[in-house]
Amino acid sequence: MAEHLAHVRDARLHPARKGRLMKIEDIDGLAEANVAAEFYHQCRLLGLRCYLEVPAYSSAHTRSNRFRIDCLVTHNNEALCAIEFKTSGSTPGRFSRQARAYDGLGIPWTYCIGQEQVIDTINWVLSLKARKDLGAAA
């Protein structure tokens, strides 16, 4: 986990009473949106372009044929990879409808499960970028 977030991990804000600040209480984990926000922030610091909540089409979603990619990372104006964020403790199915939709994108993708996997996921993205750069230089 990023050190600058250690003090807010597992915190929940309670509604303020009139004229008082909100109180922070422990919680089990951070929401997917917080994980996505930290991933986005780290990507921007490294100069990686990424887009959150990207609409896409998938035959795996039979009712609407649509789903949202949690994060699409691009490099040289091309899709590099996709990231699906989950809360800590989640055990997503590799053969779920959502996983099949990501598989259908035709680009590498991975889960980022909880705040503790953000840095590892960033390193995975950087390795994909480096391989792509090497392929372009050859």
pLDDT > 70: what percent of the chain?
76
Q: Is 102 exposed, middle or buried (0-12, 13-18, 19+ CB in 10 A)?
A: buried
- Interval 63-89: pLDDT, tens: 778 889 999 999 999 999 999 999 888
pLDDT at residue 1, rounded to an integer: 42
Instruction: Name 101's Cβ contacts closer than 8 Å, sequence gap at least 6.
Output: 56, 58, 60, 61, 67
Q: Give the residue with greater pLDDT, 64 vs 43.
A: 43
Lowest-pLDDT range of 23-27, 65-69, 109-113, 125-129: 23-27
DSSP string covering 11-80: EEEPPPPTT-PPPEEE-S---HHHHHHHHHHHHHHTT-EEEEEEEEE-TTSTTTSEEEEEEEEEETTEEE
- Interval 6-19: pLDDT, tens: 444 444 444 555 55
Q: Give the residue with greater pLDDT, 118 vs 62.
A: 118
- Residue range 45-61: mean pLDDT, rounded: 89
CATH classification of 30-137, choosing from 1.10.3470, 3.40.1350, 3.40.50, 1.25.40?
Answer: 3.40.1350
| Ranges of each domain in the chain | 30-137
pTM of the predicted protein model: 0.75
- Residue range 13-38: mean pLDDT, rounded: 66
